[in-house]
A and B are shown apart, each in its own frame.
Chain A
Amino acid sequence: MLIRAVVITAGLAVLAGCAAPTRYIDPAADDGPVAMTMDYRDFEKAATDAVEDMLASGAVNNPNGGRYIMVVSRITNDTMQRIDTDQLTKKIRVALLRSGKVVTTTAVGLNGAEDEMTQKARELRESEEFDQSTVQSKGTLQAPDLSLSGKILQRNHKVGKEQQVEYYIQLSLTELASGLAIWEGETPIIKRGPNKSVTW
């Protein structure tokens, strides 16, 4: 106990001496070290690949003119890491919206609307407190044309003395009218690092 206490204290003192201060990281200029887990840079890479490919392929271009309406379906997290898949889909949504070709509906979703206010605002019909001419009228909501779904996979292997972790970010864009996947993409993200512990 004594020796341990002394050694650990000495160790801590050494470590504390060079502990890094908290600082901001600018995503536009981040050369920081890589972790075995997925971080924002991986999501950014996958989203960039997906969006550029969607735009270049013309898949998200509505031949009838105007913008397509997209709904985000399920992105399954099949990794060993707790991921909020919105980190990925939000980037794609923002970029597609900016491209002027696709707009995302928040009024429908697998587990109900993303923004429930669309429905709530309609419950004001018949309310005497509200100027009925400002209340949303019936039949104005727009149904989606496209659905974005996907899966994030993780496979780990031991490679020599190191551990290799492979993430696959797989995305599909389904045309709801035909049920056909009009665009598909996969971004592999491969990392190799120490095998001392688990990857998460």
Chain B
Amino acid sequence: MKSVLFASLLVLGLAGCASQPEVSNLLADRQELKVDPEVIYITAVTELFEERIPQPDGESLLQIQFAVEARSDAELAWKVTWFDAKGMTVPGVGEGYRKASLLTGQTRYFKATAPHSRATSYQLHLREPK
């Protein structure tokens, strides 16, 4: 009985170690673009680009640009969260959502620049402000 318990503990312990690489798998699951249903209803994200802009000192900064097309007059709030290679967030200037208004049929292009060269990935969230 005891040995069974010990064995299962061991298995659990091993599983604990094995869960380390699993985190990076989760990272792959993080959506780059998250759009709330209320927003999808009235707008469409038509483009989403990213590039690294080279800096004079040889480093580069991640920059994204996305386009939103409105089917009717729309209020929008958006925010980009930045992550480094290990999936940790890189803090930006503020943490609030940026508000934007769109007229019917208008396509607007928004840009965001990473706060540090170590940012390698991002998540863009679009929602409707209340």
Contacts and interface: CB of A to CB of B under 8 A. Distances in A.
Interface of A: 27-28, 30-31, 41, 44-45, 47-48, 51-53, 55-56, 58, 61-63, 65, 91-92, 94-95, 98-100
A58 B94 contact: no
A120 to B, nearest CB: 32
Interface residues of B, number: 23
A44 B115 contact: no
B94 A44 contact: yes
Interface of B: 53, 55-57, 61, 63, 77, 91-96, 98, 111-117, 129-130
Nearest to B130: A31
Contacts of A51: 93, 115
Contacts of A55: 61, 113-115
B91 to A, nearest CB: 6
Contact of B93 (A48, A56, A58): A48
Given A51-B93, A52-B112, A61-B57, 17 more contacts: A27-B96, A28-B95, A28-B96, A31-B77, A41-B96, A44-B94, A45-B98, A48-B94, A53-B113, A55-B61, A58-B55, A58-B56, A61-B55, A63-B56, A92-B93, A99-B115, A100-B116
